[in-house]
Amino acid sequence: MSKQHKQKNLTEEFIDVDDEIQTNTQQTGYAWEEEYKRSWDVLQEDEDGSLKRTVENLQQRKRKRLFRDTATIRRGIIRHMFLIIDLSEAMMEKDLRPSRLDLTLSYAEQFILEYFDQNPISQLAIIVTKGGYAEKISDLTGNPMDNIRALKNKKNTDTDGEPSLQNSLEMARSTLIHVPSHGSREILIIMGSLTTCDPGDIYDTIDNLVNENIRVSVVGLAAEVQICKLMCKKTKGTYGVVLNEAHFKDLLFEIIPPPPVSNTQNKAELVIMGFPSSVSDSSPSLCACHSKPTIGGYICARCHSKICDLPTDCPVCELTLVSSPHLARSYHHLFPINNFVEVPWNNNSVSPTHCFSCQIPFPSFLGVRGGAVPIETSGRYKCNRCQQHFCIDCDVFVHEVIHNCPGCLAAIH
């Protein structure tokens, strides 16, 4: 009887181990799910079995971010933004590959780099929320690497409970209320949960955000939430729900250009800035920002302290330190380049055969009939100011990177 009892316990033990392995597999997902991609969402045939419509859609998607308002309006080029990331249990869903959390952290790093590239004299901080509380993992800084290092430390962090929208907003608001009036105050929330755990009335928090001119934008990963929609509407922010991975990135990058500023919100005033000179010492000396020995660096124009990188605020005298290229990159937001117009096939005045910028030949109408490109698009775009023609790749590069038309610059010189 004792042997049978031992065999019975052994059998029950093996069954429990199998159940535990199966439970862990259901929670973490199978290995093949990590490499799973919906390829049919990219390539779709039309009723004639042709991929012509797919190529046309890809080209239109490539240029759709270029069609924005190019009117000369007042914008706050000195921005102060808090990035709030949801780390609740809802972020472990795999409807976005490989998971909501992994994709969010990856896109957040790309967003930070592009944000500081287009807004070099701005600042950004990061807050994460889970389990009903909020945690600030980086303070407002003009160095993108400080924020990226803070994000990488959170990649192996476990998710927990529900996010707290009110705690996150109050933490960001307590810092933004001390920002000078010449800088814009913004909050960007990446939220995957449909619920929030708040200690008080969140409508009072929204009213405080409106009174203090703090703009809140939300990118939802699951579905539309009414409180987020109301908050964005009252604070004049944007709210969007992602459809797929590409749409997620588009919604994030739409927030990179600085928002317009009304005359009643901010009054024009002078901002004191310093342009420090670079130094390269023969022997290392301590910097004022990290207290680490460095050979190269910059000397503050007011207190002559040594700092590592630009742009930043001097840790001693709190003077804003920038360089002339930083101001030049921020200046293009105030006077954006006009959108190029597509040149149709039936335009008889089409004379250039090569792109003005890269000198790559344009597709010919005869080559179109062979199936090289769709017949609906000519693949060339014209600047109405200098009348030069550009290919689609140069069109995107001009509007997203250099922000100056090569044809207009060549006409000036």
Tokens found for residue 335: 């006077």
Same domain (yes/no): 129, 173: yes
336/67: higher pLDDT: 336
- Residue 170 domain flag: yes
Same domain (yes/no): 238, 106: yes
Same domain (yes/no): 300, 156: no
> How distant, in Å, are the alpha carbons of 183, 217, 255, 400 from that of 259?
11, 11, 8, 17
pLDDT digits (tens, 9 = 90+) for 203-215: 999 999 999 999 9
Residue 159 is predicted with a pLDDT of 85
Q: What is the CATH number of the domain that holds 346?
A: 3.30.40.10
Percent of the chain with pLDDT over 70: 73
- Residue 97 domain flag: yes
104/49: higher pLDDT: 104
Tell me the mean pLDDT in the region 17-38: 44
Same domain (yes/no): 164, 302: no
- Residue 7 domain flag: no
Contact yes or no for 199/168 (Cβ under 8 A)? no
Same domain (yes/no): 80, 193: yes
Same domain (yes/no): 197, 313: no
Q: How many domains does the chain have?
A: 3
Residue 14 is predicted with a pLDDT of 40
Mean pLDDT lowest for which of 10-14, 214-218, 367-371?
A: 10-14
The alpha carbon of 247 is separated from its chain's Cα centroid by a whole number of angstroms, namely 12
3-state secondary structure of 348: coil
413/188: higher pLDDT: 188
Residue 41: pLDDT above 90?
A: no
Residue 49 is predicted with a pLDDT of 54
- Residue 249 domain flag: yes
Same domain (yes/no): 289, 233: no
Same domain (yes/no): 83, 231: yes
- Residue 87 domain flag: yes
- For 277-324, the DSSP string reads EEEEEEEEEE-TTT--EEEEEEE-TTT--EESSSSEE-TTT--EE--H
Tokens found for residue 56: 């046309």
Contact yes or no for 93/192 (Cβ under 8 A)? yes
The residue among 253, 282, 315 that closes a domain is 253
Q: Are strands 184-191 and 214-220 parallel, antiparallel or unpaired?
A: parallel
262/97: higher pLDDT: 97
- Residue 335 domain flag: no
Residues 374 and 372: their CA atoms lie apart, in Å, by: 7
Residue 43: pLDDT above 60?
A: no
Residue with tokens 């010449």: 182
Same domain (yes/no): 99, 244: yes
Mean pLDDT lowest for which of 8-22, 64-78, 232-246, 354-368?
A: 8-22
Tell me the mean pLDDT in the region 52-75: 56
pLDDT band at residue 70, thresholds of 50, 70 and 90?
Answer: low
- Residue 142 domain flag: yes
pLDDT digits (tens, 9 = 90+) for 128-164: 999 999 999 999 888 888 899 888 877 657 788 899 9
State the DSSP H helix or E strand holding residue 267, giving kind and residue range, or none if neither: none
Same domain (yes/no): 317, 389: no
Average pLDDT along the chain: 78
Q: What is the CATH number of the domain that holds 191?
A: 3.40.50.410
Structural domain for 211, as ranges: 73-253
354/346: higher pLDDT: 354
The beta-strand segments (E) located in 3-122 are: 79-86
Residues 389 and 342: their CA atoms lie apart, in Å, by: 9
Tell me the mean pLDDT in the region 180-187: 84
Tokens found for residue 81: 């933004």
Tell me the mean pLDDT in the region 377-384: 81
- Classify the phi-psi angles of 131: left when phi > 0, otherwise alpha if psi is within -120 to 50, otherwise beta: left
Spatial CA neighbour of 395 closest among 348, 347, 354, 341: 341
Same domain (yes/no): 140, 238: yes
Residue 26: pLDDT above 60?
A: no
The beta-strand segments (E) located in 73-183 are: 79-86, 123-130, 133-141
Same domain (yes/no): 310, 353: no
Residue 40: pLDDT above 60?
A: no
- Residue 345 domain flag: yes
